[in-house]
Structure 1
C-alpha cells in the first residue's frame, strides 16, 4: 500500500478544522509522511464514521419478499452503501426474534455466516450485533451457542412483544400481516405470543443467567428502548452498559448517572425529534447526555445529523462529528479509530466543502468509495 499525503484540504482534528497535510502509510496516520501527494483543495477530510447500530442493510439482503438467496452478494451491496455514506466501521444490528422471517433465529445465523465469508472481500470493517428478544425463554441456550459460534462481540436486549394488547386479551395490531410474512397462520402466531407473555415472570432470572455468561466472555451489552430509571438501573446492574435509544429523559439521565453510555438515532436528530413521540435526540445532545449517534435504519442520516447539530450550534463540528465517529468507536472499545491523529487507523471520509456530499471514503488507507473530482485526484 503506497504512502499518501493529502494536502490543501480542511482536516477535522480533535480541536476543529485546520488546513494541514494528512499523511498515512501502512494503513495508519503518520506525523511526517512523504508519500505521493494528493491535492484535495476544496474538500474536507474528517474521521471515518463508525456506525454503532444499523439495520438498513436488510434492504440489500431481501429487496422484496422471498428474495433472500444471495446473502453474500447482499452484504457486498450493503458495503457499497456504507462507503458511499462515509461509514468505515459498520455494526450490522441483526434481530434474533420470535417475529420470524428476516428477524428470526435461522435468518440471523445465515447473516452471521455470510458476514464471516465476505469480510475478506470488503474494505469496510463489518461487525455484527445480535439483537435478542428477551421473551424467547426457549431460545436462551441456543442464542448463547450462536454468540459463541460466530464470536459476536455486541448483544442488545429488547422486548417487542405487544404486552398491553395481550394482557387485555385483544389481537395485537398488524397480527395478520406479520403472521403471513413468516408463513404462519394468524391464530398460531397469536398463540405463540400469548404463550411467551404468560411466562414473562420467568424472564428476569433467564436474563440474569445470560448476561452473567456474556460478561464472563467480555461481550459488550446494550438495552433497547428503556423508559424508566428503574428499568435502566436493572440493566446496569447486570453489566449492560449501553442504553440504546432511550425513550425518555428519565432513562437517559439514569444511564449517565450510573456510568453507562447513551446511543441515539440519527433519524431522530434529522427529524428534530422522535417519529413516535419519544424523547428528542437533539435535546439530549444539548444536555450533554449522548455518547454516540447511530444510523438506526438510515445510513445517510449520520452525516446529516452531525452537521445539523453543528449548524444549530448545539455543539461545534468537532464535538458533533465525534458523536458519529470517536464516540461510537470508544463505546465499542475500538481505540484505534475515530480521530485523525498519528498512530490511528487511516479511516477517513472526504466531503465536498461546498455541498458536504461524500466524495471519497478510505478504510485503513484503502479506498472503499470515490467519485467525481476527488476520484480523479486520488487516481492522479
Structure 2
C-alpha cells in the first residue's frame, strides 16, 4: 500500500536547490503536484531524493555469513534489503561476481544469488537490480552467458580481469595462491595451472569479447568496464559497447571516459576514507575535476550518504550537486528516468534525514515505507 501524505515543514531538496520549511506530497507511489492526504510535520528534518546505489556488494555478508551457511539465500536477500533501506537506498544494484576465483565469486554461487533476487524482488520495497561481474578469461562460459543473463533478468553486466598477468608472464606464483585455491575448492597446483592456461589464452578472450558484448547489447543489457587504468584500455571497452567506466584507477582513464561521453562511477568509501585503500586515484580529486557522474556504495552501504554530506560540508559542492552524485546521476546512468529527483510525477523515493544527527530517520521507496525509526515514526503514526 502506498502512502498518501503531505510532508510539511522539512527542508526539501528540489532540482533548483534546498527549499527550507517546504512541503512535498505523495500519492499513488509518486510525488504529487498538489497536497494529498493528511499532513505530517517534518520540521527539523531534511527531505532528500532516495539514494540510487549503482554498484554495491555489501549484501554478501547476509547471503553467506560463514562458509557453507548459504541454505536460505532468499532470506539473505531480504536481510540485505533491510540494510539498504536503513541507509536511505531506494534503488540498489547488487553486484555479483561470476569468476574462476570460486567461493562467493563462483558461477554456482552467482546462480543462487540471481535466482534469490528474482524470488524476492516483488515482495520487498527497495528496487533491487542484479549486476553480473564477468571475468573475461572464462572462455568456456562465453557461449551460454547471454542466455543465463536473460534467464536471471540481469540488466547490467560489467567485465573484470583479476588475473595477475605481470606475475604470470614472469612465471611467478601470485601471493596467497594456496589460500585462494583452497577457497575455490581446488588443489593449489591445479589452480596454478588454470591461471597459467587462462593467461596463455588472453588474446583469444580479447578476440571473443566483441561478439559477447554485441550479444548482450542486443538483449538491452547495459555494459561497463571495471578498474580502467589507461585511456587506450577505456577506448577498447567503449568500442565494444561497454560505455560505463566503473572505478577508473587513474586520472588518465577517468579523463578518457569523460572526453568520450562515457559515465564514470567512483566509490563513496574512497571519499569517506579520504583516498583509495589500494592507492588508486583519489575520488575527491576526480570529483573536483568534474570527472564523476555517480558515487556507489561499493562495499559499504552507509558511505553514499556520508560521502555526499562530506562533499557538501567541505564546500567542494553544494548540497544539490553533492546529492546528485548519489541520486539523479546514478539514476540517469541506469536509464531510470522516473527517479532521482523530487519532482511531480517521479517515483516517491524519499530519504528523511535528521538535521541534527544526519542519520537516516525514514526511507520511502515508490511511496512505500521501507525503513523508519525513532522520533520521526511518531509523527507519521500520529
**Structure-2-length-normalised TM-score:** 0.98
Structure 1 residue corresponding to 2:297, chosen from 291, 295, 298:
295
Partner of 2:71: 69
Report 1:111-190 matches (<5 A): 111-190=113-192
CA deviations on 1:154-179 (whole Å, 9 max, x unpaired) are: 00001001111111111111111111
Deviation at residue 45 of structure 1 after TM alignment: 0.5
CA deviations on 1:43-90 (whole Å, 9 max, x unpaired) are: 111000000000000000111111111100100000010000000000
Deviation at residue 2 of structure 1 after TM alignment: 4.3
Aligned residue-pair number: 380
- Taking a change above 3 Å as real, the CA distance of residues 17 and 99 of structure 1, as seen in their structure-2 partners, is same
Deviation at residue 272 of structure 1 after TM alignment: 1.2
Partner of 1:356: 358
Structure 1 residue corresponding to 2:238, chosen from 236, 239, 262:
236
Structure 2 alignment gaps of length 5 or more:
none
Partner of 1:310: 312
Partner of 1:4: 5
> Is the Cα contact below 8 Å between 2:156 and 2:222 reproduced in 1?
yes
Structure 1 alignment gaps of length 5 or more:
none
> Is the Cα contact below 8 Å between 2:160 and 2:225 reproduced in 1?
yes
Report 1:183-202 matches (<5 A): 183-202=185-204
CA deviations on 1:81-134 (whole Å, 9 max, x unpaired) are: 000000000000000101111101111111110101011220000010000000
Partner of 2:18: 17
- Rounded to whole Å, the distance in 2 between the matches of 1:99 and 1:13 is 44
Greater CA deviation, 251-260 or 15-24? 15-24
- Rounded to whole Å, the distance in 2 between the matches of 1:194 and 1:144 is 26
Report 1:253-272 matches (<5 A): 253-272=255-274
> Is the Cα contact below 8 Å between 1:3 and 1:33 reproduced in 2?
no
Give the 3-state SS of the residue equivalent to 1:99 in structure 2: coil
- Rounded to whole Å, the distance in 2 between the matches of 1:2 and 1:307 is 28
Partner of 2:208: 206
Deviation at residue 187 of structure 1 after TM alignment: 1.0
- Rounded to whole Å, the distance in 1 between the matches of 2:56 and 2:3 is 32
CA deviations on 1:119-155 (whole Å, 9 max, x unpaired) are: 1220000010000000111111122221121121100
Report 1:19-98 matches (<5 A): 19-98=21-100
Structure 1 vs Structure 2 CA RMSD = 0.9
Give the 3-state SS of the residue equivalent to 2:145 in structure 1: helix
- Rounded to whole Å, the distance in 1 between the matches of 2:206 and 2:3 is 54
> Is the Cα contact below 8 Å between 2:230 and 2:252 reproduced in 1?
yes
